[in-house]
Structure 1
Amino acid sequence: MHLILAPLRGFTDVVFRNAFARHFNGIDEAVAPFVTSTKGRRIKPSHLADLVQAENSHLPVVPQILSNNSAEFLCLANTLVDLGYGEINWNLGCPYPMVAKKKRGSGLLPFPDEIDRLLERVLRDFAGQLSIKTRLGRYSADEINALVPVFNRYPVKRIIIHPRTGVQMYTGSVDLAAFGRCLPKLVHPVVYNGDINRLETLRSLSDRFPSVSTWMLGRGLVANPFLAETIRIGSPQIENRWQRFADFHDALIDGYTRRFSGPGHVLARMKGFWGYFADEFVDGRRILKKIRKTTRLENYRVFVDGLLDPRVSQGKTDCERL
C-alpha cells in the first residue's frame, strides 16, 4: 500500500509537510499545492518558494501545475524538472469557481479536445514524467467517459481521481459507482482520493477496489495527522498522541513564524488548521469557536498549550482526542 499526502492549498505547504514528516509516519510522498503557469519565460523564484529543493528533503514531493496553456505549462514544468523534480502533476480537479471559470482545473473537464491538444503538445517536449489529478467531471460524472480515451492515448505515469464533480466542491457523497465504472477502462495506474478519514473507510474502499494500491489522504489526514500511521498498523492505538500532536503543533507555529511577516499571519494560518483539528476533539465546536475569537498569537498559544497539555487534558471529555 502506497499513501500520498494530497495538495490542499493553504494547508499542505512546505512548512506543514516538513513538520508532518518530522513528527508522524506513514506517508510515502506528497503532491504539493498547485503553482499556476504564467505568461512569458521568466519565472520568479518567489513563484516557486514552496518547492525549493533544499527545503523539501523530508518527504518526496511532486509539484503540481494549474494551467490550460501548453507553452506556459511546458516552461514551468521543465523549470521544475531542472530543479530536480522528476514527476509533475497536472491539476484537472480544482473545483473553485474562480479557477474553473478560466477553464483551469475542473473547469477544463468538459473540453476533452482541449485536454487532448495540451497533452499532445506537452508530452512531445516534456523532459520529465506527467501525472494527472482529476475529478469525474465539472458538471456530471459522465464527463469522465470522454476523458478516459484521451488519458489512455498518452504515456501518463498515473491518474489520481477524486470521485466527485467540480460543482460539488467537497459536499455530498463521493460517487463510488462512477469511479468503479471508469477504473477498468483506464490503462494507467489509478490513485483514489476522497473522504478517507478513518481506517475503516480505507479498508472498505480497498475491498471494493482491489486493483487500487495507492491512496491519497487529504482533509482526513490534516484533521488527524495519525491517520496514515493508523492505516499502517491497522489499529487506532498509538502511544504519546497528546505529546506528539503538541510537538507537531509547535513545529507548525515555528515554521510559519519564520516564513510569514508577522504574528497576525501565523495566527490566521493556525486558525485555518483548527477548522480541521477540531473535528478530532469531542467538544471541537466549542474549542474552534474559542480559537476563532482569539485576536493575539500569545493568547492563542496559552489556550492551545493548556488544551494539549496531557497533565491537564488527558481524560477530560471536553477536549479528548478520539
Structure 2
Amino acid sequence: LFQTIQRKFGEITKEAVGFLGESLQRIGTKFKSSLEVMMACSECPTVFVDAETLMACGLLETLKFGVLELQEHLDTYTTKREAAEQWLDNCKRTFGANEDIYRMNTNAHELELCRRLYRLHFQLLLLFQAYCKLINQVNTIKNEAEVINMSEELAQLEGILKEAEAASENEEIDISKAAQTTIETAIHSLIETLKNKEFVSAVAQVKAFRTLWPNDIFGSCDDDPVQTLLHIYFHHQTLGQTGSFAVISSNLDMSEANCKLMELNLEIRESLRTVQSYPLLAQTKPVGNMTSTGF
C-alpha cells in the first residue's frame, strides 16, 4: 500500500513541478527534495507478531487506535491528492502543457497548485509520522522479558532469500509432484527446503505454488516471494506457541527521514508565504471556474 501511495505521490509531484514557471522553480526544487526523502523510505519495516502476544503485552488496544489514526490520515491524504490532481488537470486544460504562448498570466494558478501540492506533502508527512509511531509502539514488545525476539534471525533469512531470488531468475527448478498435491504438502515442502538451505528452490516453489493456489497463503504473482517465505517460516516456527516477535527494518533511519521531511515542509511553507506577498501575485486571480483555496 505504501509503495502504491509513493508511486502516485511521485507522479503528481513531478508533473506539478514540471508545470511550474520560472518564478516558482525554487519551491519546485524543495518539493523534489521532499519527494526524494519520501521515496528513499520504500522499504518500510515489516512486523511479525500474533494477537495473543499483543494482548499479553497490553498493546492490542493501543495499536487499534494507532491503526484508526493511520486510516484517518490516509483518507485525508487521498482527499488532498485528488484536490491537487484536479487543479493540475484544470491548469493543463486551461493553459496547455509547457508552450510559452499558452503559459501567460498563469502565476496565480501555479501558486494555487503549489498550495495544494504543499498540503499533499504535509498530509503524507502526517501519515508517515503516524506509521512511525505505530512501528515504535510495536517495537516496545522486544523489551518484554518473556518475548522471543526473532528479528535478527528473520533479517538474516531475508538477506539470503533476496540473493536467492536474484539467482532463481536464471535457473529451472524441478518440483516434485508430491509437493504439489495439497497446500499442506506444499507448505511442508517449503519448510523442508528452507531447513536444507535450498533457498533458490524455495523461491521457485513459492512462484510455482502461486499458479496452483492463486491468492492463497502463497500470495499472488504481484507479491514479493521473499516476504511470503518469511511469513510462512515465522508462522511455522511459532506454531502452537505465543510470545514470538520480529521487526525487519529497512536500512534507512526513519527518525532521520522524519526530521528531514519536517524541515523541508517548513521551508516550503515559508517559501509559499514569501511568494504570496509579491504584489503581482496578490493582484492576480484564477480565471473561469477555477477557484483558489487560499493558504
Higher helix share: 2
Output the TM-score relative to the length of structure 2. 0.21
Structure possessing the higher radius of gyration over alpha carbons:
2
Could you say which structure has the greater relative contact order, defined with CA pairs below 8 angstroms and 6 or more residues apart?
Answer: 2
Higher strand share: 1
